[in-house]
Amino acid sequence: MLSVCLQVAAAADKAEPVLERCLVSLVEEAKVPAREAGVLSQLLVREGDVVRRDEVIARIDDSQPQMEKRKATAEHDQAVAKAESDVDVRYAVAAEKVAEAELEKAEASNRLSLKAVTEVEVSRLRLAEQKSELGIEQAQLERKLSSHAAASKGVEVDAAEKAIERRLVTAPLDGVVVQVFPHQGEWMQPGDPLARVVRIDKLRVEGYVDSTRWDPEEVRDRPVTVEVKLADSRVEAFAGRIVFTSPLVESGGDYRVWAEVENRLVPSSQTWILRAGQAATMTIHSKQQPLPPAGR
């Protein structure tokens, strides 16, 4: 019984993992590509600029799709106006009424006086009345076709707007521009890298845990404290949590883990304290309860 108590006590006194020489790295980064070919007409950022997600950072020349949009818009407006107008239908209805009245008048005259109007003339008037009826159907059909044409031109306007939009290069994430590849005025091909944007407000700290001392369940989702040495022997501490525990044990008997930590700005200079590439010490608070995953 004593040996069991001693084992329990030893387990309770087990030290928390302290990982030395951890690597600070990026959580997110992206090389922003051009999506359309053309001349780089505007380059709106340079190295060091802070950008927000969906912020426009460059423009490819869009004069051609702009002209196509103006043309499609004019044709769309014309088709809409024609589709909304019922002048042709009203004229066809009025013409049918006149033709019907003329036919009725001729038939009435023949009832009062035999052969007052010749059969040929009556046939002509009857044909004119039928033609007027068909004229109404034709006018209604033309109006419907104009409506379809307006819808088609609307699609062309949307396509031109999309082509213009694809010539706007936007930032895919909140971050800092660390590299700009082309110069304004250069020709870009689809897929050519324009800028490299990295996320700085949140960083990853990666290290290795001794598998013979700590099981993955003891470190998964646990809070961590990350310390980095700066100039003049200053030490800064950051809080975070383990977000990844590797299922693989490497040849040295360790398994890889990494934590995500929130970065901080130096108020006086508005520069970030933690930087990718730094070495850090990470203490995993394995005795504390696991933290819920972010977003839950």
Please state whether beta strands 187-188 and 18-26 pair in parallel, antiparallel, or not at all (unpaired).
Answer: unpaired
29-61+167-197 and 13-28+199-284 share a CATH fold: no
Give residue 13's pLDDT.
57
Query: pLDDT tens for residues 111-136?
Result: 787 778 788 787 887 888 888 888 88
Q: Give CA–CA dist 116/95, Å, rounded.
A: 24
Does pTM surpass 0.75?
Answer: no
Measured at the CA of 188, the angle between CA 186 and CA 189, to 5 degrees, comes to 155
Section 13-38 average pLDDT: 93
Spell out the domain ranges in the chain: 13-28+199-284, 29-61+167-197, 64-165
Query: pLDDT tens for residues 29-71?
Result: 999 999 999 999 999 999 999 999 999 999 999 999 999 999 9
Confidence band (pLDDT; 50, 70, 90) for 11?
A: very low
Confidence band (pLDDT; 50, 70, 90) for 295?
A: low
Section 228-249 average pLDDT: 95
Note whether 24 and 183 are within 8 A (CB).
Answer: no
Section 76-97 average pLDDT: 82
Q: Is the pLDDT of residue 2 over 80?
A: no
* CATH number of this structure's domain 13-28+199-284: 2.40.30.170
Query: pLDDT tens for residues 175-218?
Result: 999 999 999 999 999 999 999 999 999 999 999 999 999 999 99
Give residue 269's pLDDT.
76
* CATH number of this structure's domain 29-61+167-197: 2.40.50.100
Q: What is the pLDDT of the chain when averaged over all its residues?
A: 88
Q: Give CA–CA dist 107/265, Å, rounded.
A: 97
Give residue 250's pLDDT.
93
Q: Is the pLDDT of residue 9 over 50?
A: no
